[in-house]
Amino acid sequence: MAKVTRDDVARLAGTSTAVVSYVINNGPRPVAPATRERVLAAIKQLGYRPDRVAQAMASRRTDLIGMIVPDARQPFFAEMAHAVEQAAAERGKMVLVGNSDYRDEREVHYLRAFLGMRVSGLILVSQGPSERAAAEIEAWDARVVLLHERPEAIDDVAVVTDDVGGAQLATRHLLEHGNAYVACLGGTEETPAVGDPVADHVEGWRRAMHESGRSTEGRLFQAPYNRYDAYQVALGLLSGPDRPPAIFCATDDQAFGVLRAARELRIDVPGELAVAGFDDVKEAGLTDPPLTTVHSDRPAMARAAVDLVLDDSLRVSGSRRERLKQFPSALVVRRSCGCG
């Protein structure tokens, strides 16, 4: 059976192939309602399917959005990627996801791959992209929106949450329970990059501690972001002679590792140890005890990122502050802090 072409649709609808193209692509020129209906009826009758590859070659854009995350196995990034996929589907787009594994070369690899596919835009969830990544974006003149983090190396529009304020809320809450001080499980870098969310979480913890007159010296501990390695760090911390009365974790996944270590060491949470995290992934409500954490509105952030990457009119020029869309954080109180 011969393949149905755009010419076949045009003949049946009694119009030109150009008009058929305008109907299929919703532009660039308007089509009269009656003509549009004839074209759509012809498409349905003939079972015509547009050649998306040819359309992409002609327009130099596809219906794809590229998305790079550090590690989609971690719940936060998995939920963020899912939210972006849903938001993109509402705009008639599909999402390709690549994992950088926190490595510069992997991030650059996916940047080149996705931009070479002529994606409509790129959403970058990074843990501090390198100068190489920034140069790659500039060379391609790519539509890029930063999501979750806004590093200094890349001066593109960004969608973030109030990381500093959220960490302050969690730390203050732990202190209000009467804990002498709050330890912090931060990231793996002694000097994290500016714009790194985990660095902002640590900064929020510091501010809350200093506001209350508590010292932070010797109370910040480095830990990987995933629960498995954080569990090992927590075993050593909780087994030592200076076990903290409360711990604020920069990510929920780290907090899961702390809760597991406490259970193994038979330390009662929250009776002997109060714990709070950051991200409010769905699993946080199912831990034992349920985890007090900081909520970020990932669906709203995802919709904003998709809108920004697709709509040039929304990608305003101006200062870095003007090109930043920040969503508020909110404390979600559960039993791990001592409430309930």
Domain range for 8 is: 4-49
In the chain, count H helices and then E strands.
12, 12
Query: Binning pLDDT at 50, 70 and 90, where does residue 134 land?
Result: confident
122 and 181 assigned to the same domain = no
**CATH number of the CATH domain containing 314:** 3.40.50.2300
Residue 216 sits in the same domain as residue 244:
yes
250 occurs within a structural domain: yes
pLDDT band at 321 (very low <50, low <70, confident <90, very high): very low
Residues 236-264 have pLDDT tens digits of: 999 988 999 999 999 999 999 999 999 99
Q: Are residues 79 and 199 in the same domain?
A: no
**Which position has the token pair 């500039």?**
138
Whether residue 86 has pLDDT greater than 90: yes
Please tell me whether residues 204 and 99 are part of one structural domain: no
Contact 249, 275 (CB under 8 A): yes
Which run of H or E residues covers position 257? Answer: helix 252-264
95 part of a folded domain: yes
Say if 190 falls within a structural domain.
yes
12-26, 42-56, 91-105, 205-219: segment of lowest average pLDDT:
42-56
Q: Across residues 211-223, what is the average pLDDT? A: 95
Mean pLDDT of 316-326: 61
Same domain for 269 and 188: yes
- 255: Cβ contacts below 8 Å, ≥ 6 apart: 185, 230, 247, 249, 275, 276, 277, 284, 287, 291, 293, 336
Q: Tell me, yes or no, whether 169 and 249 share the same domain.
A: yes
Cα dihedral 119, 124, 125, 127 sign:
positive
Per-residue pLDDT reduced to its tens digit, 50-65: 765 555 545 555 788 9
Asked if the structure places residue 335 within a domain, the reply is no
In a domain, 109, yes or no: yes
121: CB partners within 8 A, 6+ apart: 65, 66, 142, 143, 144, 145, 309, 310
**Do 183 and 290 sit in the same domain of this protein?**
yes
In a domain, 66, yes or no: yes
The model's pLDDT over 180-190, given as tens digits with 9 standing for 90+, comes to 999 999 987 76
Q: Cα dist. 146→151, 239, 304 in Å?
A: 9, 40, 11
Q: What is the pLDDT of residue 3?
A: 81
Identify whether residues 24 and 149 lie together within a single domain. Answer: no
Same domain, 86 and 153: yes
How many separate domains does the chain show? 3
Q: What is the pLDDT of residues 7-40, one digit of tens each?
A: 999 999 999 988 988 888 776 788 899 999 999 9
Is 31 part of a structural domain of the chain?
A: yes
Question: Distance between CA atoms of 263 and 270, rounded to whole angstroms?
Answer: 11
124 forms bridges with which residues in the sheet? 68, 146
**pLDDT (0 to 100) of residue 311:** 81
Residue carrying the six token digits 């090992």: 232
- Residue 265 has what DSSP assignment? T
The CATH number of the domain holding residue 19 is 1.10.260.40
Q: Which residues pair with 121 in a beta bridge?
A: 65
Mean pLDDT calculated for residue range 128-156: 73
Backbone angles phi, psi at 116, to 5 degrees: -65, -25
Q: How would residue 322 be classed by pLDDT, with cut points 50, 70 and 90?
A: low
Give the predicted TM-score (pTM) of the model.
0.79
129 in any annotated domain: yes
Do 128 and 170 belong together in one domain? Answer: no
Indicate whether 92 and 14 sit together in one domain: no
In a shared domain, residues 132 and 239: no
Q: Are 246 and 215 in contact (CB under 8 A)?
A: no
What is the Cα 97 distance to its own chain's centre? 12
pLDDT given at position 315? 52
**Residues 41, 44, 46, 50, CA torsion sign:** positive
